[in-house]
Structures are given as structure tokens and as C-alpha cells.
Chains A and B, each alone.
Chain A
């Protein structure tokens, strides 16, 4: 019986962790679809979100809700600046300069934050005042519950936004065929800017949610981003459902492997899963084999 509870406990943790990967992975996928480029600073969006909430909540002593809203606003503005500084000047070049540029941005952001906030990791209170609830033999940590619920809402919001609003449809059109979208009068540059803003806010949200569980440090984002990217490949490159499923799956795999095999190599399991997928099913769970059009 207790073994069952232990497994449920691990599963619960894995799903919560996986939700964070899924949120960051969603940001990845949106930018991939809009620009055909992987944003290597996606994880640093989460890192910045976490530092923003630390600044507002701990530094300025603002209430939690206000801090979250302000942090998300900061991230939205940052997303716009990121687009202008890192992507826009290179939009007409091939993908290689762009991903190198986002990589440079990632290094720049991490080390700038390091210079400003120092190397000391910062702890953060949970969003809810209670520690968690006990259901049978399983302890449900309140922050993990918050992560699961917020992720659910974020995914539902995104579905509604993309499928049932005009702006969402314009964004979809942009991601599918930029030239055609342009001919139809859709301002493509603006749509891409919106994608970056939304994606930065989403990454920031992941950082805000995960901050109370992990200490806030400059490396917070990179390891999440690597796993989120692994999630997008496992789910199917550029596929929205795939990003969510891949993220959750990876979180669960990682939690169980850490529990049953060994903790120090916790971060390696995700990559092993990734290698296996690349070898056996490179198009991912939901992906189709794509070939370049001649």
C-alpha cells in the first residue's frame, strides 16, 4: 500500500515538474511556429520572471498578486525588446545566425543578472499560505497544486485565444505562411512581436511558478529550457499538443528515474529519453515526417 502511495507521490511531483516544462515548451513552440527558429533564451525568460517576482515580492514588499501581475507585465515588455534587439535585425537571414544570436542573448542575460543580483540563490515563499494537503498517503504540496491548476488554465486560455479570436487566427496565419499572411493585410512583423511578448510572459509565468520550489538562481532557466526543448522534440517538433504531452511525460520520467535509480544524474535522464526518441522516433509523438519543398 505504501509503495503505491510512494509511486503516486512521485507521479504527482513529476506532473507538476512536467507542467513547468510544458509551459516553457509552449513558449518555444509558439516562437518556432512564428519564426522557424528555436529561441535559446527561452529558459532565461523563466529565469527573468523568477527574478522579477523576487524583486517585487521580497525587494519592494508588494502583495503576491500585485507582484505577479507586475512581473508578467515586465516580461511582456521584455519580450518586445527581445524581439527588437535579438530577432528583428536578423529576420531575413538564415536560421543559424538567429539561433546564435538568441544563444548570445541567453549568455548576456544570465551574466547581467548575475552582476546585478549576485551569485547567492534566493528563496521565495509559496503562493498559498498553507504547506499542502494530505490525501490518503500522498502529500499534495500547495505550490505543486498551484502549478498544475495554473498550467491547466494557461493551456485552456491559449486554446481559446488561438482558435476563437481574430488575433489568434492572424497569429496562426502568420506562422503557417508569412507571405500569404502579408498579402492578406496581416501585419506580420507585429504578429511576430506579439508572439515574442506572449512567449516571454509564458516563460515568465513558468519562472514565477517554479521559483518557490527551486531557489532562484541564474541557472534556473537553462536546465528547464533544455528539458522543455527535449519535450518539444519528444512531443513533435513545433506541435502544441506535443509540447504539453512531451513536457508532462518528461517530468514524470525524470521523477521516477530520480526516485528509483539515482539523484545526482537526475538531469541526465531527460537527455537520455531525448536520445532514445531521436534514434527511434525522431518526428516525436505527434509529429509528421517533414521534407523540404523543392
Chain B
């Protein structure tokens, strides 16, 4: 049984398909050598192939990472003008010029990304448009260097091992090879740590940050990669057509790249490439639309957004999946989740909070709380609605920065740290309203949790997978690990969220109302799970409204009211204190009808 589990049963069949695909892919660029093709057709294909590389950049930044880039034509222009100026102006070889162009495009993307990506979507859209406009202005107006609107002609073709690719058929072959390499890279990317982090950012940026993804760095990487692909495309284009002008890197071109990727399918390199080829060929077929083709593009963008959010590739893949259901690879069995590695038992408090304050304008949501969480204990924070529980938790794990006070975790002052840094120190958290990466599978969700900083897991991707499977097993979600979490029932999603945190091997687990929305059976399972976690010596700091749950699992309870601590101690004594009961039932002070 075990041997079968470890070996995918139909590896031969999928290998056969892969080989067929490779042969087909290799044949297409060889066609011009076999049958006569007009210069015009060769040009169209050179156009499609070079644009497709730029569109792959859009797949990375928009499709994988969910960040908009409306300056892809500018990055394309940086690559193209580097080759043009480098070869024609300064007599560099194509390779030198293209290399520096790609680096320059990447640097431009890096700088643009660093300045704007922490601000989020709208800013990025506008800033990339602005960058695109400034780039255009410079190309047109800095005539001494860029030759202005006239552009630069006479760009030479590169040579490979002393063989100059002067024949268009050979150059096309070269471009297709580059395109295939880029497609393979973009296709491989989602299964890497960086790719998973990108998709986590796209699905839920806050959750990604909290489980330990350096979200800013991830977005900047994605943006830089996208810009570099734009630069590669521009370099290929310039040498291919021997001429470059500002028209090639205008805002309209950026919109074309956007339309191509949306039409083909933003989530897949194949979709992006398909969209490019379609949009290059369509205007040829629909020549009568030449005057208003951009209007049609605009309309197409709206219609795709409304009716075809995953593009044509999504449609094709969806149809294919209906005909041929996806084979779920059998999962392997893994050793149980290890809780002991690196566990400290020094008896000191794992977290010490002093004088914590969080004010929103005049509202003192958290108003000077002192609190210690003992290592290995289950510590509950309770209080009526609006007493500051969730705000406290948000300050503790860094989503809010406190107005005053200090948080020391594992002996480190984390008060000024970002959530992902705290996650990197071993602070895990779940959310009241579940925040999973909805379009990722349960396994991928948990793998994102496992790959946090300072959580050494040997064995690369397989090691991460093992760790994630063990965490899913622990919470009883070891089956259907490849199911997308958005298709899972609520109770299961909650368990996957806990597993995502556990896979990160936290030393402190923060649970924000883990019982919310669960039915009685699920609540009993939750209590059992929490008791098991306590049995493994994990420190838990939780908020919940259900006193049944709190009383069963907690070693210690802190009660908040109006942002202040009003009681603390063992459950039995705290829950019987008159002022705690008063805070919950509203005997005194009286605040009028709610």
C-alpha cells in the first residue's frame, strides 16, 4: 500500500503528453523552414512572440500577485531603447545592450515598486500610469538622446556562437526559444516559495503578512520580475524589427498588454501567450475594425471582467476538467506533527505586555493593559462586545501599531515589528472571520504557513509538503488536501486555518474567537483540539465569547471592559466575580438600552 502511495500511478501517461507538447512546440517555429511563408506573416509572428514575453510579466504581477501594472510598455521601451541606443549609438553588442536593458527595466520596476507597493492597488495603478506618461514625455522630448518621435533605425541582429541571426526565420526561432524559456519559468514559479507567497498576497494580503510572508518584498519581487520580462520583450522586439520609436512604448501599448493578458487568462502563462497571439491576429482578420480597434479593446476589457474573469484559458481549462476530471494524486502518509523541536521550557512568561494602549481618535479601545502569558498555558481574554479584545490581539500581532506600551515576546521587544517579523519569531494567529487564501488548495494554504522565516524544514518542497500534511492530519483535515478552500464548509475552513498556523511551528498561538460560527458538534471538536494542543505544551492566547469553551480549556482568564483589565485569575474564581458578571450582564454601570 505504502509503495503505491508514494508512486504516482500514471506518471507515464502525463510524461507522454508532455513529450507530445514539447514536440508540437518545437515544430511550430520550424514550420517556416519547411513551407514558404511571406515576410508579412513572419513579422506578425515575431510581433506576437515578443509581445507574449511582455504579457508573461503581466501574468506574474497581475495574475499571480494581484497587483496592477499599467506601465508594462514603458518597461518594454526600456529594453527596446537600451538595445537601440547600445548597439546603434555606442556600438555595444546586442547581448551587452540587451543585458543592461533588462537590468535597467528591473531596476525601474524595483524603484517604482519600493515607493508605491506599500500603499496598495489604486496608488499603484495611478503611479504606473504616471511613470508611463513621464517615460513617454522623455522619449519624445529628449531628442538629443532618444532621437525624439523619429525613433532609432538600423538596429542590428544578435549573433549566436558567431552565427548572425539575420534570416528572420532563425531570429524567430531564437525568439520562440526565449519565449518558451520564459513560459517554463512563469509556469514553474507558482510552485516555489516565492510563487506561493505571491498567490497568498493576491488572495489575502493581511493574512499572508500575519502568517509570515514578507508581503512588501514579495510584491516588489513580482513587480521587478514583471518589469524584467517587459525588458526582455522590448530587447527582442528592437533587434527583430531593427527600428524602435516612442509609439512602441506608449500608454496604448500598455493597455494592449493588459487586454491580452485578461483575454487569454491572467492566471496562466499559456493563457497570457494565447491572449497575445489572438489579439495580434484578430486585427489582421478584422481589418475593417482598424479605425476603432482600441474602442473594441476597451469594450472587450469590460466584458471580460464581467463575463469571463479567468479569460479564455480559464474557460478552456474549465471545459476540459468537465470532460476529464482532475486526477487527485494520492497523498502520502507522513509522521505526526512534531511539537517538541526547539521547544523551550524555562518557566518564564512567553509574552509580557506592559501599559498597552490603542486609541482611535478619541476612542480608547485599549487603555493601558498589563498582561503576562505563561509558557505552556492556555490564557483566555474575555469581555463584553467592544471591550477591546480583538483590538488587543491586533496590536499584539502587529496589525495595529500601539498608541503606547510595550510587547515583549520570547524576550524580544516586538512593539515596532511588522506582523511577518513576529510570525518569524513564532507568533501564529487565526482570525475571527476566517482569512484563508480562497483560491488555493488546503495543502497550499498550510504550506504558506509552514514556509515562514526561522522555521527550518529540511527537504525543500517535499519537506514543506510533509509538514503541511502533518498539520492537516493533526486537525483532522488530512483528506481532500487538494480541494480549494473556497469549496470547503465553514467548519473545515476554520480547521485549515488552525493547521496553517500550526505548520509554522508557533511557540505562541493567538486564536481570535475560534468558536465563532461553529455548531455544537464542531465546538466540541474544537475544545478537544485545543486540549490536545495544550497537552503538547503549546502556549495559546485566545479570545472567545463561549464561556463553555473558555472554561474548559483555559488555565487563566483575563477580563477586559472598556479597554481596561477588570479581573484576572483561574477560570473558576474569575467567572464568579461580581464585577465580571456585572460587565457581562450590564447591572452597573448602566449605559442605557443597547
Contacts and interface: CB of A to CB of B under 8 A. Distances in A.
Interface stretch (A155-163, A192-200, A252-260, A267-275): A267-275
A31 to B, nearest CB: 11
A104 interface: yes
Given A104-B298, A104-B299, A107-B297, 11 more contacts: A85-B302, A90-B305, A90-B306, A100-B258, A104-B259, A108-B298, A110-B295, A223-B133, A268-B137, A271-B133, A275-B130
Interface stretch (B120-128, B240-248, B344-352, B367-375): B120-128
A230 B435 CA distance: 33
A274 B259 CA distance: 27
A258 to B, nearest CB: 13
A278 interface: yes
Interface in A264-294: 264-265, 267-268, 271, 274-275, 278-279, 282, 291-292, 294
Interface string B276-304: 00000000000000011011011111100
A155 B297 CA distance: 36
Q: How large, as a class, is the contact surface on chain B?
A: 35 or more
Interface string A1-39: 000000000000000000000000000000010000110
B291 A99 contact: no
Interface of A: 32, 37-38, 40, 85-86, 89-90, 93, 95-101, 103-112, 114-115, 223, 226, 229-230, 233, 237, 264-265, 267-268, 271, 274-275, 278-279, 282, 291-292, 294
B78 interface: no
Given A97-B305, A265-B137, A278-B116, A107 B298 contact: yes
Contacts of B206: 292, 294
B262 interface: yes
A103 B121 contact: no
A282 B294 contact: no
Contacts of B133: 223, 226, 267-268, 271
A97 B309 contact: yes
Interface in B110-134: 115-116, 118-119, 121-123, 125-127, 129-131, 133-134
A109 B300 CA distance: 12
A271 B130 contact: yes
A292 B121 CA distance: 13
Interface of B: 66, 68, 70, 115-116, 118-119, 121-123, 125-127, 129-131, 133-134, 137, 141, 206, 210, 255, 258-259, 262, 291-292, 294-295, 297-302, 305-306, 309, 390, 393-394, 399-400, 431-432, 435, 512
A100 B298 CA distance: 10
A105 B119 contact: no
A223 B399 CA distance: 37
A134 B116 CA distance: 45
Nearest to B116: A278
A85 B255 CA distance: 20
Contacts of A282: 118-119, 123
A32 B122 CA distance: 10
A104 B305 contact: yes
B298 A99 contact: no
Nearest to A106: B298
26 contacts: A90-B305, A93-B309, A99-B68, A100-B68, A100-B258, A104-B305, A105-B298, A105-B302, A106-B298, A107-B294, A109-B298, A114-B295, A115-B295, A223-B133, A226-B129, A237-B122, A271-B133, A271-B134, A275-B115, A278-B123, A278-B127, A291-B400, A292-B399, A294-B210, A294-B393, A294-B512
Contacts of A109: 298
Contacts of A275: 115, 127, 130
B123 A233 contact: yes
B298 A229 contact: no
A108 B66 contact: no
B137 A38 contact: no
A89 B400 CA distance: 34
A95 B121 contact: yes
